[in-house]
Structure 1
Amino acid sequence: MTQTINIMPLSNEGFTENTRFQVYTDRQFDKIEPLQKLSEEQRFEMRVVASVLPFRVNQYVIDELINWDDVPNDPIFQLTFPQRGMLEPSDYDLMAQALRDELPRAEITQLAREIQGRLNPHPAGQQEMNVPMLDGEALDGMQHKYRETVLFFPSQGQVCHSYCTFCFRWAQFVGNKELRFASNEADSLHRYLAQDSSITDLLITGGDPMVMKTRHVVSYLEPLLKPELEHLQTVRIGTKALTFWPQRFVTDDDAQELLDLFKKLVDAGKHVAIMAHFNHWREMETPIVREAIRRIRATGAVIRAQAPLVQHINDDPDVWVRMWRTQVRLGIIPYYMFVERDTGAKRYFEVPLVRAFEIYRQAIQQVSGLARTARGPSMSAGPGKVEIQSIIELNGEKVFVLRFIQGRNPDWVQQTFFAKYDEKATWYDDLVPAFGEEKFFFTDEYEAMCNTEGHLAGE
């Protein structure tokens, strides 16, 4: 049994409202009261998009985070509710006609699968290249792309309290088991970690692992304290719960047990990092999220904040300035500004790389050094995490200056390379080498990796 920690206030007085989790999916659009203010056509457009891309929202988000007087422009509304522009016009028209014709559910599902297949459901070689092996068998529900870090997808955490409309893991939530990562094999996880002393970090991800009951979290994380896993230094938990359900850390029945677990890990010498996803400063304004942040930090766990740069939500340097300043004030460490990945509703959310760099540069100039821990704009591409460092003119040519923050081959890390300036480029794959070069310095090696099934950098 873990020892109860003394986090004041011990009572939840003042945080008793909105403690019952009430969720809505596309089948309950008509039960979301504020949506009735929208036109019938707007609600139909939502149903069309939600027939292809996942939709899930809860009452806390509806009541506390969305300014319904500013819909559809409100950033949290854009973050959680489907918009027509998320689908290609031709795909939208196909699904809209299918719904108008009231086709059988099976035919609508089949059409949705066809459209989903055109949305690059698993970018950057996730299913082909990142799967670890143990005793000659592939470990489902795990990814090992970088030498030091293993990603684990617990089967009980393959959902979220609400879904982000831009989520690059949207394929986890559309009911197609072939597109999902999930594992409930705690023993295989621990054995895999134990056999490789170069693994220092475990990232529990999903979905959102904070939808799990604490007893499940304990079953995965407490065994990390065994002597054979002493080399595992950091436990990361990727979660959006601080935005979508901060009650998880305050008023849920097993919230205290979860906090006790964090403290037990910290006291045993592990670094516990809550990898929080905040897309807008508004997400950190409610009293209960402030209390959740305070309670997590009191355990010794560290909260780091990351988010993609996306149109309609935060494509404004002033939003990032206020967000980073708020995070520093609350004791959260700004970590990453990502570029929206090339999957799902990217067409609606993508920002040209030129604009992304300018937003980052203008925002970082306005904050103190404590907020300049935020790295970016960063693209989590096939070869690794590629950062846009600058846009300059060199040898008479305007170029992107790029750098590996992380790479499939650790030797690539911190190496700089150059790509031709392209004001329309929105992703790594749009870029070509500068100065007349035929390929980037790592291209041949990366292509060889792609042709080696199950390759892991460092093997």
Structure 2
Amino acid sequence: MEALDSGARLNAYSFNYNEILGGSIMSTSPKKIFTRIDSTRYTAYNLGNFREIPQIARLSEEQLFEIEVVGRVLPFKTNNFVVDKLIDWDKVPDDPMFVLTFPQREMLLPHHYEEMARLVKAGESSSVIREAADRIRLELNPHPAGQLDLNVPYLDGKPLHGMQHKYRETVLFFPSPGQTCHAYCTFCFRWPQFVGLSGLKFASREAEQLVAYLKAHPEVTDVLFTGGDPLLMSARRLADYLEPLIAAELPNLRHIRIGTKALSYWPYRFLTDADSDHIVSLLRKVAASGKHLAIMAHFNHPRELEPQEVQQAIQRLRSTGAVIRTQSPVLRHINDDPALWARMWNMQVDLGCVPYYMFLARDTGAQHYFAVPLVRAWEIFREAYQRVSGLGRTVRGPSMSTCPGKVQVLGVAETKGEKVITMRFLQGRNPDWIHRPFFAEYDDKATWLDELKPAFGQPRFFFEEELDRIYRESAFASS
């Protein structure tokens, strides 16, 4: 595509978008689909400058102070698109998109908040505040599910700290230039990536190591580029990772996945950024190589799908041959409503995306603030699932990404005179665990697997003995 200024490029995409959809979603003429916007230049907001946001004047000084206190512990970054296009400032502070991107007092436990507030009010030095923040962070389970202990793979006896290999078929790769995002989600389970805790950040600059590892592990069929957000990288840097992977012509590699929030938080990445055309061409090249290209897009609320920029970015990505699969955790204060989920899944299908996963809030960071009890999450999933057609029933969930694997809550049942929670693995450290149903005592307050007890008087769940052995072997291998 020839070079265009931002306004012309947006108008061009408006025409292509309407042409692609054939008016099935919007009957608006191309000229009216997209109002020319002058705010396509990225502006980040964080603790240092968030008071400069024009709409922030709606908040009280107490609310601003709370943002500053919580933002000293949990990462905080937003941008002008999120502020101007996604947040309903008339509903702040209860607006779900505001909660999704701005720290809230209750995201810290009361004693943690009071400690940080006291230091900030006293005007303590940055080093003292940082020391206290790091101590609090270490109490928030910064790397759940064995990420440091069990998931780091080895090549020639050396650990590859920029990768994770938890499930047989799939390797996660963390390109170092992609270990940040256009904006940070307040629930993010990878929050340690963004706060600089030594030893708690996954990143790799070595595409060659990735290729070598895949050659040594023919069981791997999928590589997931993750972060942070790999699509925040420049097209040139992303090509440094993708092109060697394609050029290697690995017979076992069938699927390349890229996890991203850019479609929601900065759709101009695919429309008007300086290298938008180049990144689209690169993704088209990957899809044309014969590898299945999957964009794992994170959408947490249907409002994120409403802006025309987002819808056009979706269509431009789809034009590369990529399949966009969507996922989100179910979150208190943001999306714990079955009608909302049904609306979101239906919108995604209308836009050509594939609903993929409903997750549960991970047991890290501000889980106490966001977590929905397992039983309630299943009810939300079930009620939303009933409101979509078969095209939307590709979604799986609610699922916990636990240490032994992805555990799906199948529902509540009564068997042998006992009310139980029924579960199964969708992924497991041992593939033989997958789709084996197992049962826990009914508990309508539990929010995670480790809060449940096995049903029927069993001392342990069926997988726990083998999981213990995996831990022992991992400890031996790393010693």
CA distance in 1, matches of 2:257, 2:213: 17
Match of 2:433 in 1: 412
Residues 1:123 and 2:172 are matched in the alignment: no
**Partner residue of 2:76 out of 55, 73, 76:** 55
| Alignment equivalent of 1:106, drawn from 87, 104, 127 | 127
Cα deviations by residue, 1:9-58 (Å, 9 ceiling, x for unpaired): 99333565321010011111221221121111111111110010000000
Q: Determine which structure has greater relative contact order: mean sequence separation of CA pairs < 8 Å that are 6+ residues apart, divided by chain length.
A: 1
Q: Deviations over 1:413-436 (max 9, x none)?
A: 111111111011001111110000
Amino acid at match of 1:352: P
Match of 2:421 in 1: 400
Contact 2:9 2:271 (C-alpha < 8 Å) held by counterparts: no
2:226 and 2:246 map into 1 onto residues whose CA distance is: 19
2:227 to 198, 206, 222: 206
Task: Give the corresponding residue for 1:345.
Answer: 366
Aligned to 1:239: 260
Q: Which residue, 188, 191, 194 being the options, matches 1:167?
A: 188
1:221 aligns with 2:219: no
Which residue of structure 1 lines up, in the alignment, with residue 452 of structure 2?
431
User: Is 2:148 the partner of 1:150?
Assistant: no
Write the distance in 2 (CA, Å) between the matches of 1:227 and 1:178.
Answer: 31
Find the counterpart in structure 2 of residue 68 from structure 1: 89
Are 1:270 and 2:315 an aligned pair?
Answer: no
In structure 2, what residue type is equivalent to 1:162?
A: A
CA distance in 1, matches of 2:476, 2:375: 33
Task: Report the Cα offset of residue 455 of structure 1.
Answer: 9.2
Of 279-288 and 176-185, deviating more is 176-185
Could you tell me whether the CA contact under 8 Å between 2:231 and 2:262 is conserved in 1? Answer: yes
List gaps (5 residues or longer) in structure 1: none
For residue 138 of structure 1, the aligned residue among 154, 159, 173 is 159
SS of 1:124 mapped into structure 2 = coil
Match of 1:306 among 315, 320, 327: 327
Q: Deviations over 1:215-274 (max 9, x none)?
A: 111111112223541320111000000010001111111111111111112112110000
Q: Secondary structure at the match of 1:161?
A: coil
Q: 2:202 aligns with which of 158, 174, 181?
A: 181
CA distance in 2, matches of 1:432, 1:17: 56
State how far apart, in whole Å, the 1-side matches of 2:237 and 2:407 are.
34
Deviation at 1:140, TM superposition (A): 1.2
Verify the 8 A CA contact 1:157 1:209 in the aligned structure 2: yes
Q: TM-score, normalised by structure 2?
A: 0.92
1:253 alignment partner, one of 262, 266, 274: 274
CA-based RMSD: 1.6
Distance 1:220 1:105, change over 3 A: same
What SS does the corresponding residue of 1:52 show, helix, strand or coil? coil
The equivalent residue for 1:12 is 10
Residue 246 of structure 2 contacts residue 289 of structure 2 at CA under 8 Å; is this kept in 1?
yes
- Which segment drifts farther, 49-58 or 26-35? 26-35
Indicate if the aligned counterparts of 1:210 and 1:239 stay in contact, CA closer than 8 A: yes
Contact 1:449 1:455 in 2 (8 A): no
Matching residue of 2:67: 46
Residue 43 of structure 1 aligns to a residue in which SS? helix
CA distance in 1, matches of 2:74, 2:413: 39
Check whether the contact 1:154–1:182 (CA below 8 A) recurs between aligned residues: yes
Which one-letter code corresponds to 1:33 in the other structure?
Answer: P
Aligned counterparts of 1:30 and 1:339: Cα–Cα separation in 2: 32
Q: Secondary structure at the match of 2:237?
A: helix
Residues 46 and 83, structure 1, Cα contact 8 Å, conserved in 2:
yes
- The residue aligned with 1:36 is 57
The alpha-carbon deviation at position 177 of structure 1 amounts to 2.8
Preserved contact between residue 384 and residue 406 of structure 1 (Cα < 8 Å)? yes
Q: Percent identity?
A: 55
* 2:377 matched residue in structure 1: 356
Contact 1:158 1:172 in 2 (8 A): yes
